[in-house]
Structure 1
Amino acid sequence: MANFLYLTAFSIAAAYIAARSAFPYAALIGFLIPFSYAIFLVFVYPFYFSPFRHLPEPKGAKFPWAHASEILENRNGPAYRKWMTTVPNGGMMRLRVLFNQERLLLTSPEAMKEVLVQKTYEFHKPSQPTFLFRQLLGNGILVAEGAEHKEQRKALLPAFSFRHIKELYPLFWNKARESTEEIAKASKSSSESGPEPQKAYEWASRTTLDIIGQSGLGYDFNATSNPDGKIVQNYRLIFDNEPPNFRWTFVGIWAPLELMWYLRLPPLSYGKTIADSIRSFLTKRVQEKRGLLEKDAASQIDIMSIAMKSGQFSDAEVVDQMMTFLAAGHETTASALTWAIYQLCNFPKIQDRLREELRSSLPSIKDHNSTITAQQIESLPYLNAVCNEILRFIPSVPTTVRDALVDTTIQGQFIPKGTRIFLSPWAMNTSPTLWGPDAQEFNPDRWMADGTANSGGSKNNFAFLTFLHGPRSCIGKDFAKAEFLCLLAAWIARFRVRWPEGERLDMDLHGWVTVRPGHKLPVLFEEV
């Protein structure tokens, strides 16, 4: 990317000099110099001078999009999964995107370990997505870098401790129970001729928004029962109209994003309005929370309260953190729950086996007074196996990106400053080298054998990359898994989910940061 920026600057300078010169061929020279440099960067440097020219790469790349064509066609994940198994490599491969810009795809645990653990702060998130996230969400833990990230993570860790999450299981169960009531009502009233399909993703998104509202802010959005609430509508607009810069990052398009943002140009203009609306709500909530903490700090156990009690954040900084947790904290789990329903529709025998375990071990989901504990949920082996396999097989965030902040190395390979690195959970999580010959099959039993409940049988921690690893791993990992377990348990205990007759759907991948079905997964919820 830096080379293309240099080319632009050089071209402008050459044109200016040519225009000011009295030399008769100055205009021609002013054109030929940047044109020749462009030819060098696009057609010569990648193949004859690049430090990555000897690395393996997938076949079939055609100019100008090269490998970006397949990334665009299949969304951000399936292509990397295919290349992982079809391109022999020693831990990394080269990809080329628009005009032969180079990217590296890491494919080995050793390479992942260097980037995510050993040299975490030598690699940072790309500037354009980070800029937009910062404008929309503020300077929260998602975009903070270096020492600032370390300080924020340390201050927020108590909110995600195992002890604190255990206290939230009854809240998760109560919201899950409430969502089953609303789904049952909607299914019964949708048609006189029988239940009509319900969009699983929409129900999942509204339920997880309610959960992060209560556990994060101590506030109930009532999104499950009211799909037309302002907050619900705001997040629906954000996720249904994902800005294109995330896609640009992967396929090699550079755009003056900062200028576009400040000029409020489409398609970014709606994002500012929505973000301001959510931020205004959270600012008022922080002010209310200050008063509650002064009266009874001990009873306030939500994430916002813990952040405020740490003394590490100003009120504005607390708002930034909550903007981050509200957006990321509900969308990723909603996607996981949706993909779980998708797979259980595909594998009804797995669904029946799971339901049998749930109904024999948990209280009735129809009992309004029922509750559960962390121990009850975590002691269900098949529930945990199904959830772990979903998180392995269809991770909500398919690929993440890092840029080299300095000249460095990965597995002895020189990595110039500015090199863009792809790390793909979609690929690593289904690598036959790490998971065996059935790696690309959905099989919860891999988590059921002796000694495999926490590993799925893989011998390497970096085989499961859903939550990343190291200092920048997902701080909400245990929170998300606990929430996911409770929601899936409630839904499957009460409903048999299945495809409408003759309407089995494909995945219809949508989104670049998180992936979810574009059709939002319309399925039948039948009470059992």
Structure 2
Amino acid sequence: MFRRTPIRTKLLSAEVDEWAGRATLDIIGQGAFGQSFNAVQDPDNELSRTYRSMFKPGRVDQILGAIGFLLPQWIVRRLPFLRNDTMQRSSDFLRDFCRSSIESKRKNPEAGLADERDILTVAMRSGGFSDEDLVEQMMTFLAAGHETTATALTWAVYLLSKNPQIQTRLRDEVQSLLPNPLEDPTAIVTSETIEKMPYLNNVCREVLRLFPPAAATMRVAVKDTTICGQYIPEGTTLMISPWAVNGSTELWGSNAGEFNPERWQPNPSGSSAEVMSTNYQYITFLHGPRSCIGQSFAMGEFKCLVAAWVGAFETELQDPDYVPVIKSGITAKPKDGLHVRVRPLAGSPEQ
């Protein structure tokens, strides 16, 4: 067993959101496409630049979003705004990238296609998708599997920085169960190992309860129905807000606004200590046939990132009195990023 101790007393400044975005882009490259996007080492490559242009919304995006409540999306996308042109060019680039990745795998079977386990290879091997279907699926994974997890990691670092006692307890669990990469860079961490870390699971679920990356989403009623006795005619656009539901004091109690991983701690009977009156009081990934298709992948990725971060760094806010201002866009995250001070940790044998 190794205990990772501070290797320097000087704290280093870091902006979490940018690094998180680059890391998750590299992960989705390996997990979804079986290739390295090299975003951490080279943030200025074309793929990274395209993502930055898509996922850094401004005032115009808010205006277009408001117009979207009044007009069909196909009309909104054709309005003469520069942002629409930027989004279209970025979308075209990513679609071409997906098509070229599919073509490359199909033309090079000797590269080991049958043995690869990335999402694109598995989907191609199934034979259940046309090339354009594959493009649409990979576009979804590129968007949803990158920005949402990066945003979740940003909020995790914020909450752990605000709660050093929780950060320390989580680090103790991580360091006791995971190998030190500085001592054994070839060590393999399996999903079974991650799932056997109860406090990591509690922390991650609580982060996603308090700060679900997708603050709100829309659905359209496909038939006449009712919600809690309220009549909803067919064609009605509904706004579903995980931020509102996950933080409801009616559903979660008077401490709903507090970061409290203990609420997820199993009791001796194996059930959640927080008695959930309904599955629908936790809707970070939504529910039903339109729930997040990548939920399991996203949770596994998120847990690994949080474990890697807390095992490698001690973190505190650059401004101890910092109160985040939320920037709305595809995801909800701190405006102007999250600025922290980190102290790198190194491994030493524990006697």
User: Is TM (by shorter chain) over 0.5?
Assistant: yes
Q: Tell me how far apart the structure 2 counterparts of residues 454 and 246 of structure 1 sit (CA, whole Å).
A: 38
| Equivalent residues of 1:447, 1:453 under 8 A apart | no
Does 2:256 align with 1:405? no
Q: Tell me how far apart the structure 2 counterparts of residues 229 and 452 of structure 1 sit (CA, whole Å).
A: 48
**Using a 3 Å threshold, how does the CA distance of structure 1 residues 339 and 247 change in structure 2: closer, same or farther?**
farther
Q: Tell me how far apart the structure 2 counterparts of residues 252 and 318 of structure 1 sit (CA, whole Å).
A: 28
- Greater Cα radius of gyration, structure 1 or 2: 1
> Which structure 2 residues correspond to residues 58-457 of structure 1 after superposition, within 5 A?
194-241=10-57, 244=60, 249=65, 254-255=70-71, 258-259=74-75, 261-262=77-78, 265-293=81-109, 296-366=112-182, 367-450=184-267, 451=269, 456-457=274-275
Q: Which of 302, 312, 318 is the aligned partner of 1:484?
A: 302
| Equivalent residues of 1:401, 1:423 under 8 A apart | yes
The CA deviation string for residues 349-382 of structure 1, in whole angstroms up to 9 with x for no partner, is 1101111111111100323222211121111111
Q: Tell me how far apart the structure 2 counterparts of residues 248 and 373 of structure 1 sit (CA, whole Å).
A: 43
Does 2:313 align with 1:462? no
Tell me the secondary structure at the aligned position of residue 272 of structure 1.
helix
Q: Tell me how far apart the structure 2 counterparts of residues 369 and 432 of structure 1 sit (CA, whole Å).
A: 46
Tell me the secondary structure at the aligned position of residue 498 of structure 1.
strand
| Equivalent residues of 1:247, 1:512 under 8 A apart | no
Q: Find the counterpart in structure 1 of residue 337 from structure 2.
A: 520
**Using a 3 Å threshold, how does the CA distance of structure 1 residues 300 and 489 change in structure 2: closer, same or farther?**
same
| Equivalent residues of 1:206, 1:232 under 8 A apart | yes
The CA deviation string for residues 444-485 of structure 1, in whole angstroms up to 9 with x for no partner, is 011124156667442321111101111111111111111111
Q: Which of 511, 518, 523 is the aligned partner of 2:328?
A: 511
Q: Tell me how far apart the structure 1 counterparts of residues 272 and 153 of structure 2 sit (CA, whole Å).
A: 20
- Aligned-pair CA distance for 1:243: 8.2
Partner amino acid, structure 2, of 1:272: Q
- Aligned-pair CA distance for 1:389: 0.5
Query: Structure 2: which 5+ runs fail to align?
Result: 1-5, 346-351
Tell me the secondary structure at the aligned position of residue 360 of structure 1.
helix
Q: Find the counterpart in structure 1 of residue 349 from structure 2.
A: none
Partner amino acid, structure 2, of 1:371: I
Q: Find the counterpart in structure 2 of residue 130 from structure 1.
A: none
Q: Tell me how far apart the structure 2 counterparts of residues 215 and 470 of structure 1 sit (CA, whole Å).
A: 25
Query: Structure 1: which 5+ runs fail to align?
Result: 1-183
Q: Tell me how far apart the structure 2 counterparts of residues 409 and 304 of structure 1 sit (CA, whole Å).
A: 39
Larger relative helix fraction = 1
- In terms of mean alpha carbon deviation, does 295-304 or 457-466 score higher? 295-304
**Using a 3 Å threshold, how does the CA distance of structure 1 residues 515 and 482 change in structure 2: closer, same or farther?**
same
| Equivalent residues of 2:61, 2:83 under 8 A apart | no
| Equivalent residues of 2:105, 2:113 under 8 A apart | no
Higher relative contact order (CA 8 A, sep 6+): 2
- In terms of mean alpha carbon deviation, does 345-354 or 393-402 score higher? 393-402
Tell me the secondary structure at the aligned position of residue 422 of structure 1.
strand
Q: Find the counterpart in structure 1 of residue 313 from structure 2.
A: 495
Q: Cα RMSD between the aligned structures?
A: 2.6
| Equivalent residues of 1:387, 1:485 under 8 A apart | yes
Q: Find the counterpart in structure 2 of residue 153 from structure 1.
A: none
- In terms of mean alpha carbon deviation, does 505-514 or 469-478 score higher? 505-514
| Equivalent residues of 2:114, 2:125 under 8 A apart | no
Tell me the secondary structure at the aligned position of residue 331 of structure 2.
coil
Partner amino acid, structure 1, of 2:155: W
The CA deviation string for residues 1-48 of structure 1, in whole angstroms up to 9 with x for no partner, is xxxxxxxxxxxxxxxxxxxxxxxxxxxxxxxxxxxxxxxxxxxxxxxx
The CA deviation string for residues 496-528 of structure 1, in whole angstroms up to 9 with x for no partner, is 01122x454222211233111122101112113
**Using a 3 Å threshold, how does the CA distance of structure 1 residues 249 and 314 change in structure 2: closer, same or farther?**
same
- Aligned-pair CA distance for 1:252: 7.3
Identity of aligned residues (%): 42
The CA deviation string for residues 62-111 of structure 1, in whole angstroms up to 9 with x for no partner, is xxxxxxxxxxxxxxxxxxxxxxxxxxxxxxxxxxxxxxxxxxxxxxxxxx
- Aligned-pair CA distance for 1:310: 2.1
| Equivalent residues of 2:64, 2:76 under 8 A apart | no
Partner amino acid, structure 1, of 2:281: A
**Using a 3 Å threshold, how does the CA distance of structure 1 residues 375 and 239 change in structure 2: closer, same or farther?**
same
| Equivalent residues of 2:266, 2:272 under 8 A apart | no
Partner amino acid, structure 2, of 1:473: S
- Aligned-pair CA distance for 1:263: 6.6
- Aligned-pair CA distance for 1:312: 2.2
Tell me the secondary structure at the aligned position of residue 276 of structure 2.
coil
Q: Tell me how far apart the structure 2 counterparts of residues 247 and 420 of structure 1 sit (CA, whole Å).
A: 18
- Aligned-pair CA distance for 1:435: 1.9
Tell me the secondary structure at the aligned position of residue 83 of structure 2.
coil
Q: Tell me how far apart the structure 1 counterparts of residues 63 and 272 of structure 2 sit (CA, whole Å).
A: 34
Q: Tell me how far apart the structure 2 counterparts of residues 446 and 268 of structure 1 sit (CA, whole Å).
A: 43
- Aligned-pair CA distance for 1:418: 3.3
- In terms of mean alpha carbon deviation, does 455-464 or 505-514 score higher? 455-464
